[in-house]
Amino acid sequence: MNNIQVERLLINYKTLEQFKRFKEYGNQELSMLEDFQNNIIENNSESPFYGIYIGHNLIGRMSLYRISAKYDNYFEPAQDYLELWKLEVLPDYRGRFYGKALVDFAKSFELPIKTNPRINSHAFWEKMDFQKAQYDMERDRGENPLIWMPEGVKEKDTGQSNSDPEE
């Protein structure tokens, strides 16, 4: 386990091609591909994705993005936090702690983390010490946010009226 290496993914044709193997390939990747083809993104520039290679094969990945404290509606005190999405390990490589290695990497920044798990992934996230955020409809809509907090950070107490977009 100690030799699993997580690295920042660079945008190039190879990475963009390997992304297609992942189930959650979507608008984000299509938009990156388009920007890359139109020379809006430089070759080998940094992507918001981190991943694990076995040989030259990308076998797991996640997207990780730092949200500024002023947009923080989840933690107390309000602070920069990481939004984690598209965590995915290719089917042949599951059950070997690659998912855990990615999450541990995210935790190593020592910032709170928020994610919106896919249906049926709750057992995994519980093992990773993530907990359900209090549900606030105006803030969370159709999401089921899970959060993880480093020591000294608490969940923000929402109270239904705190984040009412109608106000």
Residues at the site binding a second copy, with contacts judged by CB under 8 A: 23-24, 26-28, 30-31, 48, 63, 65-68, 70-71, 83, 85-86, 116, 119, 132-135, 137-138, 140-145, 165-166
Please write down the HEC assignment for all residues of 113-130. EEECCCCCCHHHHHHCCC
Would you state the structure tokens that stand for residue 85, as one six-digit string?
A: 């999405």
Q: How far is the CB of 161 from a second copy (least distance, A)?
A: 12
**151 or 166: CB nearest a second copy:** 166
| Amino acid present at 37 | Q
| Neighbouring-strand partners of residue 64 | 84
Q: How far is the CB of 163 from a second copy (least distance, A)?
A: 10
Separation between Cα atoms, residue 101 and residue 79, nearest integer Å: 25
Would you state the structure tokens that stand for residue 21, as one six-digit string?
A: 């193997």
**20 or 70: CB nearest a second copy:** 70
Strands 113-115 and 75-76: unpaired
| Amino acid present at 166 | E
Q: How far is the CB of 1 from a second copy (least distance, A)?
A: 27
**18 or 136: CB nearest a second copy:** 136
Separation between Cα atoms, residue 22 and residue 33, nearest integer Å: 15
**13 or 135: CB nearest a second copy:** 135
Q: How far is the CB of 167 from a second copy (least distance, A)?
A: 8
